Amino acid sequence: MSPLRLRFRFPDGKQVTLSDVSPDETYGALISRVLKDAKLRVEPERVLIAGHPPRVVEASADVEVSTILKSGDSLIVEPPKRTKRTRKRTATQARSASATSARDARGNVSVVTDLTRNAEEIDSGDEWKPDASNAEDDEVIEVELTKPGTGKRRRVAKPNGTAVTGGGVATLDGVKRKRSERKDAGEVLETLVGEDARGLIGAALAQSVEKRVEELDVCGKSFREGLRSALEKRQWEAEGERRYEAWLAKRYEIIDKGGVTFKVRYRALGARAWTEEASMFKVPPELLTEAFRGVLKNREEREKLRVNTMAIVSPRSFWNMVRLFGERVEEELERLVPDGDWSFMGSRRRKLSAKASRNLQQSADVVHID
């Protein structure tokens, strides 16, 4: 058998083409050879063959290449998925990390001065007093110790000698309350805008926040409208691409009702269900000729006469051409308008820059006087 020609592509854009792959070469040797040519040391996890849809090559390292691949295949080599590596902390490290602050389920933070003692010291029943030298502010320090296995709270003396039960929390208005008496955001706002010396500051703050929210709402509305327009345009282009692919694959049906209208249904590549277009009028070749002749006169608009673009911008013209000429749409376009300039059909579409467009417009506006 003749050697195989295979092309390999990597996620970073690198490509490797092998033209001398022996049919008897093993799958493992081929992968090692590709990685060596690409100067990679990571073993790939899988190889995908481009197609509709792509399929995963599942083979062992000793399988011959000719049994799973064919000449001309274009393959995508995917790297293995990386997993996060976590490091376990010891019990001492965990206690040290929790010695600075502790946050409960409701988001309240309690500053703790010393929690490095082990469970045996807490179980011994000895009263423990926090070190006042570690406390930055005695008024906001709250300590709650729970005896392991009991679920009961123990009373702890504060540095100044007063006993607390750990039920109070600090709030925005400076008043310490129990959890059942905490104020929500609305009550705090009412306190800020009250009839006291801080009322004006609170009112100005609330007004600025409200104005900022209105500005954000306007920006969000513009963003949503732009996103919706972009999605609609992309959906419109995708439908035209599916029409063109179905026409190339001959997966369409022209349903002639016998009158002045007809219907078309097609099945896109990779789809199980058929897509049915709305009823369209039959356009005779004479009208198509006049329409195409007018479009050819405009340098920018004539790009829409390409078959793939016509399927997007004018489904009615596209399906009428398919109804009349089948798979010979491109050839019959030039026959419909023989005196037109169809040279652009065989070249790549080029978009002029803003400066080139201005120069072209200026040259067209020049009046030659003999």
Greater pLDDT, 277 or 81: 277
Please give the pLDDT value at position 11: 76
Question: Is 334 a domain residue?
Answer: yes
Question: Is 95 a domain residue?
Answer: no
Say whether both 115 and 155 belong to one domain. Answer: yes
Question: Is 252 a domain residue?
Answer: no
Say whether both 69 and 55 belong to one domain. Answer: yes
Question: Is 31 a domain residue?
Answer: yes
Please give the pLDDT value at position 253: 92
* CATH code for the domain of 71: 3.10.20.90
Please give the pLDDT value at position 316: 92
Say whether both 294 and 329 belong to one domain. Answer: yes
Give the model's confidence band at 214: pLDDT under 50 very low, under 70 low, under 90 confident, else very high. Answer: low
Say whether both 32 and 58 belong to one domain. Answer: yes
Residue 320, token pair as written in the block? 């009428």
Checking if the pLDDT of 322 tops 90, the result is yes
pLDDT digits (tens, 9 = 90+) for 63-114: 887 787 878 777 777 766 655 555 555 555 555 544 444 444 444 444 343 4
Checking if the pLDDT of 319 tops 90, the result is yes
> What is the spatial distance between Cα 191 and Cα 133, in angstroms, rounded to a whole number?
35
Only one residue has tokens 């009263």, namely 127
Tally the domains of the chain. Answer: 4
Sign of CA dihedral 42, 47, 51, 52: negative
Say whether both 357 and 294 belong to one domain. Answer: yes
User: What number is the average pLDDT over the span 169-179?
Assistant: 49
pLDDT digits (tens, 9 = 90+) for 33-69: 887 777 776 555 555 555 556 777 777 778 887 787 8
Least trusted range by pLDDT, from 140-154, 268-282, 326-340: 140-154
User: What number is the average pLDDT over the span 190-206?
Assistant: 57
Question: Is 120 a domain residue?
Answer: yes
Please give the pLDDT value at position 150: 52
Please give the pLDDT value at position 164: 44
Question: Is 18 a domain residue?
Answer: yes
The residue range of the domain holding 310 is 283-364
Q: Is residue 148 within 8 Å of 122, Cβ to Cβ?
A: yes
Q: Is residue 99 within 8 Å of 114, Cβ to Cβ?
A: yes
Say whether both 172 and 111 belong to one domain. Answer: yes
**How far is CA 286 from each of CA 176, 282, 292, 340, rounded to the nearest angstrom?**
88, 12, 10, 15
Question: Is 156 a domain residue?
Answer: yes
Give the model's confidence band at 323: pLDDT under 50 very low, under 70 low, under 90 confident, else very high. Answer: very high
pLDDT digits (tens, 9 = 90+) for 282-305: 999 999 989 898 888 887 788 888
Phi/psi of residue 169, nearest 5 degrees: -135, 155
Question: Is 148 a domain residue?
Answer: yes
Say whether both 196 and 165 belong to one domain. Answer: no
Residue 24, token pair as written in the block? 């008897």
Say whether both 297 and 355 belong to one domain. Answer: yes
Is 286 strand, coil or helix?
helix
Residue 332, token pair as written in the block? 């019959």
